[in-house]
Chain A
Amino acid sequence: MSAPLPSGTLLVTGARILGEGAADVLVRDGVVVEVGSVDRPADATVLDADGLVLLPGLVDIHTHLREPGREDAETVASGSRAAAAGGFTAILAMANTSPVADTAEVVEHVLDLGRACGLVDVQPIGAVTKGLEGAELAELGLMHRSRARVRVFSDDGHCVSDSRVMRRALEYIRAFGGVVSQHSQDPALAGPAACAHEGELSGRLGLPGWPPVAEAAVIARDAMLAEHTRSRLHVAHVTTAEGLDVVRWAKARGIAVTAEATPHHLALTEERLAAYDPVFKVNPPLRPTEDAEALREGLLDGTIDVIATDHAPHARHDKEHAFVDAANGMIGLETSLAVVADLMVRPGRMGWADLARLMSTSPARIAGLPGHGRPIAPGEPANLTLVDASRTWTVDREASRSFARNNPWHGMTFTGAVHTTILRGTVTAREGEIRPC
């Protein structure tokens, strides 16, 4: 066994901050105190980061943990371990637990579970509507006033499809600077059975289609509601070129809208469905290559603000149904950095600073998380992620810290790997080892 993962005074040596020139970073009491050429203090543990890229700790604005309710699929602790392994220092836990996170009691419970584990800051998201039913507003203000300080609200998994309810939610949360993260899916155009991109392949496979217009139409309506209410909209998992165009239009108009894309919609396409393997069943579904490429363009031109995992763990038996009956979603906390680095940074389509903006700075800002997504500079909280940009590795689903095995990346090889994760000066993960919790 190796020595326990260090905490206390850390000296990270030779790291390429945001991929730029090498520097040392001294961390004391959870705070960055010095950056540059630093002499080793006597009490410091040295983390040799020669050749590694140093990023602000990653922030995932869209994670599903299954606690409370489905602890067989994922707990806050197992999800936290996966997050730490994946380079995250903060994750936002979606509200579709059982019971639903639609009260102060539930969000505080999730917050406390996250703190008890302590590997990553678990920030609960509150439901927009009671029971995710889309009819009545949940206690948005009480969740905000709770210890969990909820600022992001989402019925994710379900669309807040009623225009009146969506309008009221946006209006109401303006009082405390909240944001609605919308799962944009018109249920009349893409119902519960819709499980494949509507097009030639879904026609051939005989799978119920999920048309792009079901996404774009809701984004358009919500953007106009955000404008009308002078409130803030975050569009979860944009998947289509059409949806992206609407976001682009809304931003050009000055509407307070932000948007996210997932690694799987960026890197995987609908052809994966040809063998009816439910591991590739996700909502919204994987799209054609043209859409994935449009999303990549959206990362570069600023239409997409955030890359979020939509990590959706499921018990194995919930995925072993016929395709249309199987649970939606795939896991992604441990692979997202590698997927994005390999897809976008390695070929030179974007730099590490872009990745840091998309996976740390912007999600932290949208979610209003103080202490995350901050510059790597003296006085800032030491939430840091070291990346080995040259390490090539093959995903093995059995090695996952998540309880779940619905891993679409299994067997795929990536160049770029999380090396070390530091939460307020404590190393939570290092070269595959996770701090116990």
Chain B
Amino acid sequence: MRRHLLSIADLTREDVRTILDTAAEMHDVQRREVKKLPTLRGRTVINLFFEDSTRTRSSFEIAGKWLSADVINISAKGSSTSKGESLRDTVKTVAAMGVDALVIRHSASGAAQQVSGWVDAQVINAGDGTHEHPTQALLDAYTMEHRLGPLEGRHVAIVGDITHSRVARSNLLSLALLGARVTLVGPPTLLPSGVTPWSAADGFDVATDLDEVIAAGPDALMMLRVQRERMSGGFFPTPREYTVGYGLTRDRLADLVRANPEAVVCHPGPMNRGLEISADAADAAASVVLDQVSAGVAVRMSILYHLLAGADGPAEAGGPAAGDGPAAGDGGSEVAA
């Protein structure tokens, strides 16, 4: 596995498999009464968030703490403007405090990759602009596998504002690695530029009619959040019209269940109930929204474990010596009970 996790493109199919398998073991830990593993004792993880986020930040915080890392949250919102301190100065300052890993969220695409070139710490991308959100895609894969089994040959439709979605971009890559078939669905104004050659090159489908896609009985529907600023950005006329065209309404949920009784509904959150997803769909048996949140912690534990305590650093990882953590160096195949 590479040193940083900046993009799903940094991972091989085997890496993804390893992360998801370890996540399953972490998930078991998560269900125990005493959740803490000593694996990352003495390691410092900084959540450096240039953009607001509650769930991703707390998910990383819990994941780090359950692995016994020291986790510090730094909100750097507002310091990323071109007028202020440069991004390089900001991250060099934070890194100079002596951190092992920087978990970075930034409103600008590519920020995590740039940072990885400036600091010695390992960098985990917790969302960079409209580019990628690799840990989200991995937790999505984990959640879908949990319900559907292996994703090889499964059909996943990603619906909504694809243009501005880092979740969609990371999922395109991870689902391709896992052998799933993907259809992007949205109004033409919310499909990324160049999507036609892109889809031809990468082998996914693009559609503008959600009902046709649902009628084909996909195994998973991933509903993307519509950002408030898009509503006034001229990308579609009104929220009402968006819902009629691309919302997972009560009727569409029924169509989906009819077409494929096993189908699951995902949403990276936070949901705009009544806009891209109806309350009925959000709370339906098919919905795995809360499973995604739960999986988020396990998957991030797995990622932190593999990146920070991975094959290269068993001795100082505190794993086997403590006799209680995943045996570092063996890919985490055992989580001692």
Interface residues of A (CB under 8 A from B): 198-207, 209, 211, 275-278, 317-318, 320-327
**Closest Cβ–Cβ distance, residue A209 to chain B (whole Å):** 5
Contact across chains for A202 and B193 when beta carbons are under 8 A apart: yes
A322 and B117 alpha carbons, distance in the complex (Å): 12
Closest A-B pairs by Cβ, 8 of them = A276-B110, A200-B194, A322-B108, A203-B192, A206-B131, A206-B130, A320-B88, A206-B109
Within 8 A of A (CB), among B75-109: 80-82, 86-89, 106-109
A204 and B106 alpha carbons, distance in the complex (Å): 17
Given contacts A206-B132, A206-B169, A325-B82, contact A276 B194 (CB under 8 A): no
Contact across chains for A200 and B80 when beta carbons are under 8 A apart: no
Contact across chains for A321 and B194 when beta carbons are under 8 A apart: no
A198 and B80 alpha carbons, distance in the complex (Å): 24
Residues from chain A with Cβ under 8 Å of B130 in the complex: 206-207
Interface: B198 (CB within 8 A): yes
A201 and B202 alpha carbons, distance in the complex (Å): 13
Contact across chains for A199 and B82 when beta carbons are under 8 A apart: no
Residues from chain B with Cβ under 8 Å of A324 in the complex: 108-109, 129
Within 8 A of A (CB), among B154-205: 163, 166, 169, 192-195, 197-198, 201
Within 8 A of A (CB), among B98-135: 106-111, 113-114, 128-132
Given contacts A199-B193, A199-B194, A206-B129, contact A325 B108 (CB under 8 A): yes
> Of B81, B107, B130, which is in contact with the most chain A CB atoms at under 10 Å from its CB?
B130
Q: Can you list 22 A-B contacts (CB < 8 A)?
A: A199-B194, A200-B194, A200-B201, A201-B194, A203-B163, A203-B193, A204-B198, A205-B109, A205-B110, A206-B131, A207-B109, A207-B131, A276-B111, A276-B114, A317-B88, A320-B86, A320-B87, A321-B108, A323-B109, A324-B109, A325-B80, A325-B81
Residues from chain B with Cβ under 8 Å of A205 in the complex: 109-110, 131
Contact across chains for B89 and A276 when beta carbons are under 8 A apart: no
**Closest Cβ–Cβ distance, residue B300 to chain A (whole Å):** 22
> Of B86, B88, B107, B130, which is in contact with the most chain A CB atoms at under 10 Å from its CB?
B86
Contact across chains for B114 and A322 when beta carbons are under 8 A apart: yes
Interface size of B by Cβ–Cβ distance < 8 Å? 30
Residues from chain B with Cβ under 8 Å of A327 in the complex: 82
Residues from chain B with Cβ under 8 Å of A323 in the complex: 108-111, 114
| Of the residues B86, B113, B194, contact of A317 by C-beta under 8 Å | B86
Given contacts A200-B193, A322-B108, A323-B114, contact A206 B166 (CB under 8 A): yes
A199 and B198 alpha carbons, distance in the complex (Å): 9
Residues from chain B with Cβ under 8 Å of A322 in the complex: 80, 87, 106-111, 114, 129
Given A204-B192, A321-B86, list of 20 further CB < 8 A pairs?
A201-B194, A203-B163, A203-B198, A204-B194, A204-B198, A206-B128, A206-B129, A207-B110, A211-B193, A318-B86, A320-B87, A321-B88, A322-B106, A322-B109, A322-B129, A323-B108, A323-B110, A323-B111, A326-B82, A327-B82
A204 and B113 alpha carbons, distance in the complex (Å): 14
Residue in chain B with minimal CB distance to A273:
B110
A323 and B129 alpha carbons, distance in the complex (Å): 11
Residues from chain B with Cβ under 8 Å of A318 in the complex: 82, 86
Contact across chains for A203 and B131 when beta carbons are under 8 A apart: no
Residues from chain A with Cβ under 8 Å of B194 in the complex: 198-204
Contact across chains for A321 and B198 when beta carbons are under 8 A apart: no
Residue in chain B with minimal CB distance to A210:
B193
> Of B81, B88, B194, B195, which is in contact with the most chain A CB atoms at under 10 Å from its CB?
B194
A354 and B198 alpha carbons, distance in the complex (Å): 39
Contact across chains for B109 and A325 when beta carbons are under 8 A apart: no
Residues from chain A with Cβ under 8 Å of B114 in the complex: 276-278, 322-323
Within 8 A of A (CB), among B197-216: 197-198, 201
> Of A206, A320, A321, A322, which is in contact with the most chain B CB atoms at under 10 Å from its CB?
A322
| Of the residues B82, B109, B128, contact of A321 by C-beta under 8 Å | B82
> Of A204, A277, A278, which is in contact with the most chain B CB atoms at under 10 Å from its CB?
A204
**Closest Cβ–Cβ distance, residue B141 to chain A (whole Å):** 20
**Closest Cβ–Cβ distance, residue A163 to chain B (whole Å):** 21
**Closest Cβ–Cβ distance, residue A136 to chain B (whole Å):** 26
A324 and B111 alpha carbons, distance in the complex (Å): 9
Within 8 A of A (CB), among B216-245: none
Contact across chains for B82 and A276 when beta carbons are under 8 A apart: no
**Closest Cβ–Cβ distance, residue B225 to chain A (whole Å):** 16
Residues from chain B with Cβ under 8 Å of A275 in the complex: 113
**Closest Cβ–Cβ distance, residue B243 to chain A (whole Å):** 25
**Closest Cβ–Cβ distance, residue B229 to chain A (whole Å):** 12
A277 and B194 alpha carbons, distance in the complex (Å): 21
**Closest Cβ–Cβ distance, residue A354 to chain B (whole Å):** 35
Residues from chain B with Cβ under 8 Å of A321 in the complex: 80, 82, 86-88, 108
